[in-house]
Amino acid sequence: MKYGVLAMQKGVEKDFLLKRIADFLFEVGMLKKTPRTGYQFLGSGSENVAEHSYRTAIIGLILGIKENLDWKKIVLMCLFHDLHEARTGDFNYVYRRYNRAKENKAISDALKNTPLEDLVLPLLTELEEVESKEAEIAQDADQLDLILNLKEQMDLGNPYAETWIKYALERLRTDAGRELAEKILETDHTDWWFQGVDKDWWATKNGKK
């Protein structure tokens, strides 16, 4: 009898965990629908939080490997650094002057009873308090993604993007971040595709002949 009750309890626990994971994944999906709100002040460009988090994680991975740091930790910090915004929305610098979000509670509630809770929460605390080189790199990755977007808007003619870039550069914490930012600002955002092939390729007509 006791074995049967224990088996039932394990079944309930498994069902609860799977339901909690399903709920969490739907919540993560909300980041695809949550806009980064600064662009309405910039006047051009757009991005959602999921898009921002993805490239931030890629930047963190690259810098982590380059600097011989714990890149897995960095990637997790970057990937989850804005998860709370599924519940709070994105507060840009103007909004923050007048509003306060319970970010810590939002992220804690979001991760509660998921398999990620014990893994991610300490990393986000480390990130917020900037307690390690990994946290510094993750913070820089966040700014570098913004700088990439601002450089694209500057290339496309937005006169305000350059001013925003100046302030983003001041927020960088590491030499590695500053070096990469310098190269980003020297690079046209179309170079990777427009200048990647022989110029004659652009004149090639359709068809085999």
Residue 44 burial class via C-beta count within 10 angstroms: exposed 0-12, middle 13-18, buried 19 and up: middle
Alpha-carbon distance of 131 to 173, in angstroms, equals: 12
Q: What is the CATH number of the domain that holds 116?
A: 1.10.3210.10
pLDDT grade for 96, boundaries at 50, 70 and 90: confident
Q: How many domains does the chain have?
A: 1
Residue 75 lies in a domain: yes
Alpha-carbon distance of 151 to 108, in angstroms, equals: 34
Residue 204 lies in a domain: no
Residue 39 corresponds to which tokens in the numbers above? 């662009």
Residue 2 lies in a domain: no
Cβ atoms of residues 38 and 92 within 8 Å: yes
Question: Which tens digit of pLDDT belongs to each residue from 105-148?
Answer: 999 999 999 999 999 999 999 999 998 999 999 999 999 999 99
In this prediction, residue 14 carries a pLDDT of 82
Residue 195 lies in a domain: no
Residue 209 lies in a domain: no
Cβ atoms of residues 146 and 39 within 8 Å: no
Alpha-carbon distance of 59 to 19, in angstroms, equals: 33
Alpha-carbon distance of 44 to 161, in angstroms, equals: 9
- For 174, residues 6+ apart whose C-beta sits below 8 A from its C-beta are 63, 67, 133, 136, 137, 140
Residue type, 143: Q
Question: Which tens digit of pLDDT belongs to each residue from 20-35?
Answer: 999 999 999 999 999 9
Containing structural domain, residue 50:
11-189
Residue 200 lies in a domain: no
Dihedral Cα 39, 59, 97, 170, nearest 10 deg? -100
Residue 201 lies in a domain: no
Is the pTM above the cut of 0.85? yes
